[in-house]
Amino acid sequence: MTLDSISSQRVLIRFDFNVPMNQGKIVNDFRIKQSLETIKVLLKNKNKLIIMSHLGRPKEGEYSEANSLKPIAIYLSELLSIDVQLINTLDEEISFNNYEICLLENTRFNIGEKSCDELLSKKYASLADVFIFDAFGVAHRKESSTYGVSEYLKTYPGMNIKHEISTIDRLIKEDSRPMTIIISGAKVSTKLVVIKKLLNKCDYMILGGGILNTFLKAKGYEIGKSLYEKDLVDEAENILNSELASRIIIPSDLLCESKNITKNIDIGSIDKEDCIYDVGETSLNEIKELINKSASVFWNGPLGFVEKKPFDNGTIEVAQTIAKHNCFSIIGGGDTLPIIENLNLQDQYSCLSTGGGSLLTYLEGESLPILDKLNL
C-alpha cells in the first residue's frame, strides 16, 4: 500500500520535529518543512491525522514548557493554512470536530516512551487505523512512538524517509568516484565506526572539529588547548597506521585562537596556548579542490566552531563549493543545516538528510528495527 491509497482513515504519523528552539521560537524549520509532502498527500485523501514527535530531552513523565510542542503546532498551522490542534495528554479525546490534524504533546512527556513500553505503544496504536513512520532522525531509536506502535498497527513509510533512504542507498551502492567524505564533530567516539567503514568506500576523507584534533594528537602534533578525546587517541593511531590511511587528508594549517587573538598557523607551529577552531586558508583551498574533482560528496558535521565567527568560514565555503559543483551530494547532521539554509543553498544538494545518529548507523550497515519492518 502507498500513501495515495490510504483514504478516510485515522492516520497516526511519527515525524521528527526535534528542531532547534530559542526562548520558544523555532530557530530552524527544515525538519518541519520536510513533513509537508506526507501531510498533504494524506489530507488530499480525506484522512484525519494524528502527529507525534519529541522535542529536546525533558524528564520522562513530567511536563516542561520549554519542551512543549505548542510552538510547533502554531507554526504548522501557519504553513498548512489550517488549524493544527494540540492534544495535551493521551487521555484527551481526539474528536476531529472543526479540525483535521492534531499534534500530540511531546512523546517524551509520557512514561515508558524511551523504554518502548508495551502499554504505551498500545495506547498510541488505539488512536488510529494505520501508522506512518516518517522520522529518519529517530529511526535508530527503539521507542514506543518510533517502533513500539508498529507492532500493533499496519505501518508504512512516509514520503521523506523513502526519498532519504533511496538517495543514501545510491551513495552506498553506486560507484560514484572519486568520492570525498567529510566527517566532523566534537566527539570521535560517535563516528569512529563510520570513519573505518567509509574509508573503504571513499577516495578522500576530510576530518574536522574534535575528531580531527584527536587524529592530530595521534600523529604526534601539538594541539594546545584544543578539544579532543584522550581515550581514543590509540584507536585513531591504529586507523592512521592502516593501509587506507593515505585517504585521510591531514590539513597543512589551522585557524586558531590564543588569548582572544585569531591566527592562521601551520600545523607544525601550534603551541600549548593555541586552540584549534577551524581549518586554515591553505587547507581550505585544498579541500575545495578535492570537492571540485569529486563525483560524489558525503558531508556530516560542520568543520569548525561555527557558533563563533570567523570560525564558521570553513563550513560556509565548503557548503558553497559543494552547492556550485555538479556532483552527487548528501549532507547530514543537524548542526550543518541552519548554515545551509541561511546561505539559501538547501535546494542545491542531492539530499539534505534529517538524520544524524540514524544516518551514521545506516551507513555503518547496522540494523534499524523500524526500517527493517518497513522493508527499507
Q: Which residues are catalytic?
A: 31, 187, 334, 357
Q: Name the strand (E) or helix (H) holding 287.
A: helix 281-292
Written as one string, the DSSP assignment of 177-211 is -SEEEEEEES-STTTHHHHHHHHTT-SEEEEEHHH
Nearest to 17 by CA among 185, 138, 176: 138
Q: Which phi and psi (to 5°) does residue 99 adopt?
A: -155, 155
Q: Which residues pair with 275 in a beta bridge?
A: 224, 257
Rounded distance, CA 312 to CA 166, Å?
31
Rounded distance, CA 44 to CA 325, Å?
37
Asked if 14 contacts 146 with a C-beta cutoff of 8 angstroms, the reply is: yes
Asked if 136 contacts 354 with a C-beta cutoff of 8 angstroms, the reply is: yes
What DSSP state is assigned to residue 107?
G
CA distances from 312 to 107, 233, 305 (A): 34, 26, 6
Asked if 16 contacts 138 with a C-beta cutoff of 8 angstroms, the reply is: yes
Whole-angstrom distance between the N-terminal and C-terminal Cα of the chain? Answer: 14
Rounded distance, CA 108 to CA 210, Å?
30
Q: Which phi and psi (to 5°) does residue 202 adopt?
A: -105, 170
Q: Which three cell numbers stand for residue 9?
A: 482513515
CA distances from 359 to 87, 135, 140 (A): 30, 11, 9
Rounded distance, CA 225 to CA 257, Å?
10
